[in-house]
Amino acid sequence: MSAYLLDWLSLFGRWLHLVAGIAWIGSSFYFIWLDNHLVPPADPAIAARGVAGEVWAVHGGGFYNSHKYRLAPPSLPPSLHWFYWEAYATFLSGLFLLCLLYYGQAEVYLIDPAVAALAKPAAIALGVAFLPAGWLVYHGLCRSPLGRNGRLLGAVLAILLSAAAWALCHLFSGRGAYMEFGALLGTIMVANVFFVIIPGQRELVRAKLAGREPDPRHAIAGKQRSTHNTYFTLPVLFAMISPHYAMTYGARENWLVLIAICAAGVCLRLYFVARHKAHERNGRTSPLPAAVGLLTLAGVVLALMPGPRTGAGAAAAGLAADGDFVRIQSIVAHRCSSCHSPKPTQPGFTAAPSGVLLDTPERILARTEQMRQQIVTRAMPLGNVTGITEEERDAMLAWIEHGAPH
């Protein structure tokens, strides 16, 4: 019953996380678009009221005219809309899932003895500590003199985040490391909202209500953190979906794959943000960031393309040339079927992962290509909970590469 309830909690948690994430990212992307499309107001009377820019848009059968003030309007309106619950709901639902799956079942999703022999409490402690530690380092850099140089700050952050990716991939399973990296970026993003953007906006409102001139530092800091958040978004989204693609987190140098794909996401986002300001460059936008991003992704695809095996794996291929399907069935029964069967016996599973069943000869033969990918990337068994050996992995790969004789 507990595993059954766990599945429902996971389902509802993912649903909420997805809906809240769409709302947060949607509003964030919209306001970045809006800010970068502003043009000086055509009406001098509007400019005289402190409006720095305006934009006209048409959507849903109506016309919209949005204004942005240089700092604040002469007087506050009776109703002022805020945007923060989307961010908080996304973070809380994500934290719930992280605790439910990756910390609650750390021995399955977070720990890989072949990477680091961590006890469950130690793995959880390290995972939890990474999140606030990452925010504190990032926040300190933004508030330091380095924070006034956007390009240099970006370069330093890229180096530190690359180091974090390397460290996580050398502490946890590939799947767990990728999810921790996404959680680290997500924590920075929501902390930007909670500790910088919203408090700054509240101070602007208090200043207007008290009749004081608002301090522009709060607006500048809020814009900086909001801009950082938009560049973190695509890497976070990649981390969210990565558990479904073992060829990424299961790669031998998975930390390099993580860095490369995240860098590509930043480049692609840079291109689209630049396009928002194309009106300032006579409608032209350099395709270089997009080209770098796409070429980086293509490079990752080519680098991870399966090739011929050498060494012990190749030697094992010769031993399996006779098509020992009986032995393969035995390995699958002992190492795979406890999860991949109509009624899994592995604790924590009420249904076969991804609906993949390997409990009969016919089902094994129908899944050989999927099995090959999971074995090559070492993605399965999760956390190697069934204790598959290297010799057994080689035997299965050799059998598949010889056409899965039976």
Last residue of a domain, one of 248, 269, 303: 303
For residue 246, tell me if it sits in a domain. yes
For residue 136, tell me if it sits in a domain. yes
Q: In terms of pLDDT, which residue wins out, 307 or 234?
A: 234
Per residue in 3-39, pLDDT (tens digit) is 788 888 999 999 999 999 999 999 999 999 999 999 9
For residue 173, tell me if it sits in a domain. yes
* Judgement on whether residues 144 and 290 belong to the same structural domain of the protein: yes
Q: Which of 188-192, 207-211, 257-261 has the lowest mean pLDDT?
A: 207-211
* Judgement on whether residues 229 and 132 belong to the same structural domain of the protein: yes
Share of the chain above pLDDT 90, in %: 67
The domain of 388 spans 312-401
Last residue of a domain, one of 303, 336, 371: 303
For residue 379, tell me if it sits in a domain. yes
For residue 326, tell me if it sits in a domain. yes
For residue 9, tell me if it sits in a domain. no
Per residue in 38-86, pLDDT (tens digit) is 999 999 999 999 999 999 999 999 999 999 999 899 999 999 999 999 9
Mean pLDDT in the chain?
91
Q: What is the DSSP string of 333-384?
A: HHHTTTTSSSS--STT-SS-GGG---SSHHHHHHTHHHHHHHHHTT--SGGG
pLDDT greater than 60 at residue 396: yes
Per residue in 205-246, pLDDT (tens digit) is 999 999 998 999 999 999 999 999 999 999 999 999 999 898
Per residue in 86-124, pLDDT (tens digit) is 999 999 999 999 999 999 999 889 999 889 999 999 999
Q: Are the C-beta atoms of 178 and 243 separated by less than 8 Å?
A: yes
For residue 12, tell me if it sits in a domain. no
Q: What is the DSSP string of 50-89?
A: TEEEEEEEEETTEEEEEEEESS--SS--S------HHHHH
pLDDT confidence tier of residue 316, bands split at 50, 70 and 90: very low
Last residue of a domain, one of 259, 280, 303: 303
Dist CA 29 CA 32 (whole Å): 5
Q: What is the pLDDT of residue 321?
A: 45
pLDDT confidence tier of residue 317, bands split at 50, 70 and 90: very low
* Judgement on whether residues 210 and 262 belong to the same structural domain of the protein: yes
Question: Tokens representing 28?
Answer: 């964030």
* Judgement on whether residues 251 and 287 belong to the same structural domain of the protein: yes
* Judgement on whether residues 350 and 235 belong to the same structural domain of the protein: no
pLDDT greater than 70 at residue 304: yes
Q: How many domains, in total, are found in the chain?
A: 2
